[in-house]
Amino acid sequence: MKIIAVVQNKGGVGKTTITKMLAEWFSRHEKKRILALDLDPQCNFSRRFLTMELDPTDPHGILPPIHPDFDPNDPDEDPTWGGRSSSAAIYTGQLVVPYATHLKGLDILPGHAALLDEVERVRRDDVQQRVHNALQRWLAYPEVNEAYDLVLIDTMPSKGPLTVSAMRAATHVLIPTEMEQQSIEGLVNMLQLWKRENFARADQSEVNLIGILPNKVRKGVSLHEGLYGSLMNDPSIKPYMIPMQLHQRVGYAEPDVPGTHPASVFDRPKSDDVRKEAEILVAYVEERVFG
């Protein structure tokens, strides 16, 4: 089983957009069995695939819908289960029940704002066992490991415990970045986290860096071209740069609008630039991850 974590502590760089593209590509075109995990309390990834609900106990909170398999009248139903499941359950020890999506082969464990916030706030002394190592432990269970070919993890804009847990569990990481100063700083943070993780793993298997993906790049904008040039001139960064860019194009944002057609960049015309760039990206990721 391959596990890709998409990480970057700067917000808005395209983590969710890219995770969604990978989920669509690998389920629809490569017929892989995929589990997507939303580790972000904002639940943006979950909203693309499930009808999320407002949490009555939390004015800003979002939670997953009642699971279609939940039957409170079934005497065999787990009495501790309230009918919702989320990625947070991996950390809290509650029942973990992935949701099927409209895409064949793609299951999702959605976010749950209040519960993920709680996990992210776990105290220092037991954070390692309860959070950092919890996702890796859960993904190693044979019933999970054998059920999926690929796990995709969309993370929150943070380098906190949940992001560390994603990095710990991952076989591969992908770091999207905008060509703007704060995103470059976030990218450097993520490279450090990746190196620290490999150091901590010692003799265990390595976590591979798929690479750094320049996203939302605008041609002819000197800030973007200048920062891109400086990354390509930096010997500590250049080897990790994915040899392509996703440009700033409204076609990447359009599928975020509910009910929009096409709902996926891969449904755009073959000659469309958005689709062409996206296909180059997924082919690159596929080659790096599956060989």
User: Which one among 2, 4, 7, 17 touches ligand ATP, defined by CB under 6 A?
Assistant: 17
When the beta carbons of 54 and 253 are compared against ligand ATP, the nearer one is 253
11 binds, among Mg ion, ligand ATP, none (CB under 5 to 8 A by kind): ligand ATP
Q: Which residues pair with 3 in a beta bridge?
A: 151
Distance, in Å, from the CA atom of 275 to the CA atom of 267, rounded to the nearest integer, reads 8
Do residues 127 and 161 touch, judged by C-beta distance below 8 A? yes
User: Which one among 8, 9, 27, 44 touches Mg ion, defined by CB under 5 A?
Assistant: 44
- Start-to-end CA distance of the chain, whole Å, equals 13
Task: Note whether 189 binds ligand ATP by CB under 6 A.
Answer: no
Do residues 67 and 49 touch, judged by C-beta distance below 8 A? no
Cβ 280 to ligand ATP, closest distance in Å?
13
User: Which one among 253, 283, 287, 290 touches ligand ATP, defined by CB under 6 A?
Assistant: 253
H or E segment at 208? strand 208-215
User: Which one among 2, 10, 15, 20 touches Mg ion, defined by CB under 5 A?
Assistant: 15
Question: With CB under 6 A as the contact rule, which of the stretches 99-107, 224-232, 247-255, 262-270 interacts with ligand ATP?
Answer: 247-255
- The dihedrals phi and psi of 116, each to the nearest 5 degrees, come to -70, -35
Name the token pair of 227: 């920062």
Distance, in Å, from the CA atom of 172 to the CA atom of 285, rounded to the nearest integer, reads 10
Check residue 279 and report its DSSP letter. Answer: H
Cβ 124 to Mg ion, closest distance in Å?
26
Task: Note whether 85 binds ligand ATP by CB under 6 A.
Answer: no
55 binds, among ligand ATP, Mg ion, none (CB under 5 to 8 A by kind): none
User: Which one among 246, 278, 285, 289 touches ligand ATP, defined by CB under 6 A?
Assistant: 246
